[in-house]
Structure 1
Amino acid sequence: MLLVKTLRSSTFRLALIAIAAFGLIVAAIMAYIYFGTLAYVQSQVGDTGDHAGFKHMIGLAMAAVAVLLLVLAGLAAVLVTRRTVGRIEQINATSRAIMLSGLDKRIPLRGSHDEWDRVAENLNQMLDRIETLMGEVKQASDNVAHDLRTPLTRMRGRLEKAYHNQRNGEADAALIGDTIADLDAVLGMFASITRISEIESRARKSAFRTLNLAEVAGEVVELYDAAAEQVATRLSLGDDHEVPVTGDRDLLFDAIANLVDNAIKHGRAGGRVNVTCRSSNEGAVIAVADDGPGIPADQRDHVFKRFYRLEQSRYTPGNGLGLSLVAAVARLHGAAIALHDNVPGLTVQLSFPSHLP
């Protein structure tokens, strides 16, 4: 049984192929040396038969050397093949462990820095990326469930109350209006998801035009001026009136609007929000600054993920998609996005290149 298993193993088959290849090479070399030696001896001694014993001795020596080389070649082939197949089996074992227990397993490295270590490193990096994406999907799903549970529960309660009121002849228009508002919020969440996906697929780049970024920012400030007044926030726009940039006007408007909306909602009441636009040697820059609580440094890389919300923002209206949309618009325009301390508060800066990537 062991013999059959050995004969069927890939190690044995690869070893046979390697030995056969080495054997052919050794045979060719031995034949070349043998006949070359005979030709040399014959040219020196002449065709007299005096070299018959010498010929026999050379043949025996060559045969012994050939056998020795074949044995050494076979051993080398087996060792190399076993090492190769061993690494493949190690990768297979890790793959099976991942399928059975999860994505936390990794292929061990031997520190040899050879091709197999590089393959293992690439596979491990791929697994890291997959694990990160799966974690983000899980986090997004948990956040969606959390954010949808509250409005759906409210809607059910209101509809039930409206149903009982209607049976008693007391139809409540306010309850129905609130329910419609909650439904609009849920539908808006799914519309935002669709919009972000559309932006990330680069399906809207056909609408790119050269435009004045300061003008778009001015329209956003004008739109949110009333909302800022309601919470006694001073909303202002910088003085640079000509900031050319190439992009999609509607998407840029949405991105700036989300930044201003966040600054008003999460800034302090009675505070200030300042929007500035300027041209630079590298392109165009727009920044939205507030004097609110800001975002902790260790969470700034996460706020651009879909549905991610800071714990203190859980009870503020929103769905955690605004900054995700801003990040998607920035990527589409080749812009760099950065968060800085405003001491106090936060500054979100978008830097657009002078030429599209």
Structure 2
Amino acid sequence: MLLVKTLRSSTFKQALIAIGTFGMIVSALFTYVYLSTSSYVRSRSDRGIMTEYSSLESAYERSGRDGLIALIKQRIAEKSFADNVYIVVDPSLAALGGNLTAWPSTVTAARGWTEFRAGEPLPHATNRPLVRAMLQTFPGGDRLLVGKDISDLDRFADQIKTAMISVAALLFVVAGVASVLVTRRTVGRIESINATSRAIMRSGLDKRIPLRGSHDEWDRVAENLNLMLDRIETLMGEVRQVSDNVAHDLRTPLTRMRGRLEKAYHAQRIGEDDQILIGDTIADLDAVLRIFSSLTRIAQIETQARKGAFRTVNLVEIASEVVELYDAAAEQEGTRLTVVGDRQVLVTGDRDLIFDAIANLVDNAIKHGRAGGKVVVANENIDGRPVISVADDGPGIPAGEHEQVFKRFYRREHCRYTPGNGLGLSLVAAVARLHDARIEMLDNLPGLKFKLWFSAPIR
């Protein structure tokens, strides 16, 4: 099955194209090398033949037929000319001298270059040699053939050709096997990812793509996919938690509203009591609507659609407006609310969203801080980065719950029955993500300090 998928894969097809292209290049290279080698070998032989032919032609011009035959006999007797081939014939092709007994039957030209297989072995050889020769017909009709046994050169060229063909075939085989193995490995990793995907679709998000520890690109892809699955599983868990919390938080006000309406339906109409009942019902409906409004607002922020409204704003001005807005609420709780820090802390962002985030932090600090305590809003430029912090001196939040408090509808047990819907810090987190800001929660000893680290403003 895996082999079939390997042969059908696009990677294998691309490997075949690469092998074909590589094969054509290698074949062209080897052909060039073979032809160059063969041409070089034959050119060296031809130079020797031409030198010998010139000597014999000069002897014929000086001494005629007898001088030519005498020189050929002298050459045949010398060992250094053992590979040379000679024959002189009269106009009737009768042999007059040389180490060939008869004119080659396959040679019909009167002059020029020729190659032929000799009819009989040379005196020093046992096989019929392959001869490359120069022909000439003299004015009297006599013919001269002077050549050289190139059997060894021919065998050398054949060996080169065989070696090149063998190497090319070996390269093709190795490349083919390598491409199958590489493609098989690629298909195997892809199939592993596909199998995990199918398992996830069947049973849930608890499956993960196995890593092989090779730290290659496939392991990196698997790691990223596993991180993505972790993130999806976390988000799905948060969605389930949000659903549970929505059901929990809406059940009580909706039940109260139904009970009041049912009571009003069955009871006798009493003007003032009806007015109170309707007012309480409206208040509960407003609370429900605020929950859905907050959810919608957080969703809009997380889509990053608000980045078009970004501009340079001063955190100090926004913080001052928030403090002014909550001053009465702080005074009612006996809390001292102040703004400290630099006079100008510039950030690039959405003014309204930053206002909402600071307002939520200040509201939480007043609600959950110490009665008669203090809340400090500080604006600073730290190492070129704008920072705003909101600190209280209340009981604080345990370190184990720092991540939990940013989840939607999350409320600590002792806060369940205080006003609120558990969406304030979720909105702060969404605003921070939109502005690429980092949230830091610190122990204020006593109390809690929220810090928002913004990026340097774009100028």
TM-score band (shorter)? 0.7 to 0.9
> What amino acid is aligned across from residue 170 of structure 2 in structure 1?
L
Query: Kindly tell me: are residues 356 and 42 of structure 1, through their superposed partners in 2, closer, same or farther at Cα, counting changes over 3 Å?
Result: same
Query: Kindly tell me: are residues 233 and 348 of structure 1, through their superposed partners in 2, closer, same or farther at Cα, counting changes over 3 Å?
Result: farther
Preserved contact between residue 345 and residue 379 of structure 2 (Cα < 8 Å): no
Distance 1:240 1:56 in 2: 92
Distance 1:129 1:91 in 2: 17
Equivalent residue in structure 2 for 1:234, among 312, 330, 335? 335
- Return the TM-score normalized by structure 2: 0.66
- Deviation (angstroms), 1:183: 0.3
Query: Kindly tell me: are residues 83 and 242 of structure 1, through their superposed partners in 2, closer, same or farther at Cα, counting changes over 3 Å?
Result: closer
Equivalent residue in structure 2 for 1:192, among 294, 298, 312? 294
Q: 2:428 is matched with which residue?
A: 326
Q: 1:97 is matched with which residue?
A: 199
Equivalent residue in structure 2 for 1:162, among 248, 258, 264? 264
Q: 2:229 is matched with which residue?
A: 127
Preserved contact between residue 385 and residue 456 of structure 2 (Cα < 8 Å): yes
Query: Kindly tell me: are residues 242 and 169 of structure 1, through their superposed partners in 2, closer, same or farther at Cα, counting changes over 3 Å?
Result: closer
Query: Kindly tell me: are residues 309 and 79 of structure 1, through their superposed partners in 2, closer, same or farther at Cα, counting changes over 3 Å?
Result: same
Describe how 1:100-179 pairs up with structure 2 within 5 A: 100-166=202-268, 172-179=274-281
1:301 aligned onto 2:403 = yes
Q: 2:178 is matched with which residue?
A: 76
Distance 1:279 1:61 in 2: 79
- Deviation (angstroms), 1:185: 0.4
> What amino acid is aligned across from residue 343 of structure 1 in structure 2?
L
> What amino acid is aligned across from residue 125 of structure 1 in structure 2?
L
Percent identity among equivalent residues?
A: 64
Distance 1:15 1:259 in 2: 60
1:341 aligned onto 2:457 = no
Equivalent residue in structure 2 for 1:276, among 373, 377, 386? 377
1:261 aligned onto 2:326 = no
Preserved contact between residue 319 and residue 339 of structure 2 (Cα < 8 Å): no
Query: Kindly tell me: are residues 206 and 61 of structure 1, through their superposed partners in 2, closer, same or farther at Cα, counting changes over 3 Å?
Result: closer
- Deviation (angstroms), 1:26: 4.0
Paired residue secondary structure (1:129): helix
- Return the TM-score normalized by structure 1: 0.83
- 1:177-231, Cα deviation, whole Å (9 max, x unpaired): 1111110001111112222334442427537464472x5444444443443454x
Query: Kindly tell me: are residues 56 and 5 of structure 1, through their superposed partners in 2, closer, same or farther at Cα, counting changes over 3 Å?
Result: same
Query: Kindly tell me: are residues 257 and 109 of structure 1, through their superposed partners in 2, closer, same or farther at Cα, counting changes over 3 Å?
Result: same
Which protein is bigger by CA-based radius of gyration? 2
Paired residue secondary structure (1:172): helix
Query: Kindly tell me: are residues 183 and 7 of structure 1, through their superposed partners in 2, closer, same or farther at Cα, counting changes over 3 Å?
Result: closer
Q: 1:31 is matched with which residue?
A: 31
- Deviation (angstroms), 1:89: 1.7
Q: 2:417 is matched with which residue?
A: 315
- Quick check: which one's helix share is greater? 1
Distance 2:8 2:352 in 1: 63
- 1:65-124, Cα deviation, whole Å (9 max, x unpaired): 333333333222222222222222222222222222222222222222222223223322
Which has the higher mean CA deviation after the structures are superposed, 7-16 or 173-182? 7-16
Distance 2:252 2:43 in 1: 103
- Any gaps of 5 or more consecutive residues in structure 1? none
Query: Kindly tell me: are residues 263 and 107 of structure 1, through their superposed partners in 2, closer, same or farther at Cα, counting changes over 3 Å?
Result: same
Preserved contact between residue 6 and residue 184 of structure 2 (Cα < 8 Å): no
- 1:311-337, Cα deviation, whole Å (9 max, x unpaired): 332222211111122233344555443
Which has the higher mean CA deviation after the structures are superposed, 112-121 or 177-186? 112-121
Query: Kindly tell me: are residues 61 and 343 of structure 1, through their superposed partners in 2, closer, same or farther at Cα, counting changes over 3 Å?
Result: closer
- 1:42-78, Cα deviation, whole Å (9 max, x unpaired): 1222375313344344433433333333333322222
Preserved contact between residue 221 and residue 235 of structure 1 (Cα < 8 Å): no
Distance 2:265 2:272 in 1: 9
Preserved contact between residue 6 and residue 183 of structure 2 (Cα < 8 Å): no
Describe how 1:10-21 pairs up with structure 2 within 5 A: 10=9, 17=17, 20-21=20-21
Preserved contact between residue 6 and residue 187 of structure 2 (Cα < 8 Å): no
Preserved contact between residue 245 and residue 352 of structure 1 (Cα < 8 Å): no
The CA RMSD over aligned residues, in Å, is 3.4
Query: Kindly tell me: are residues 356 and 233 of structure 1, through their superposed partners in 2, closer, same or farther at Cα, counting changes over 3 Å?
Result: farther
Distance 2:13 2:455 in 1: 58
Which has the higher mean CA deviation after the structures are superposed, 85-94 or 39-48? 39-48
Distance 1:76 1:113 in 2: 21
Distance 2:361 2:436 in 1: 18
Query: Kindly tell me: are residues 204 and 152 of structure 1, through their superposed partners in 2, closer, same or farther at Cα, counting changes over 3 Å?
Result: farther
- Any gaps of 5 or more consecutive residues in structure 2? 47-114, 116-130, 133-149
> What amino acid is aligned across from residue 28 of structure 1 in structure 2?
A
> What amino acid is aligned across from residue 310 of structure 1 in structure 2?
R
- Deviation (angstroms), 1:355: 2.0
Which has the higher mean CA deviation after the structures are superposed, 78-87 or 327-336? 327-336
Preserved contact between residue 243 and residue 284 of structure 1 (Cα < 8 Å): no
Preserved contact between residue 271 and residue 291 of structure 1 (Cα < 8 Å): no
Structure of higher RCO (CA pairs closer than 8 Å, 6+ residues apart): 1
Paired residue secondary structure (1:355): coil
Query: Kindly tell me: are residues 206 and 6 of structure 1, through their superposed partners in 2, closer, same or farther at Cα, counting changes over 3 Å?
Result: closer
Distance 1:194 1:133 in 2: 17
Query: Kindly tell me: are residues 32 and 81 of structure 1, through their superposed partners in 2, closer, same or farther at Cα, counting changes over 3 Å?
Result: farther
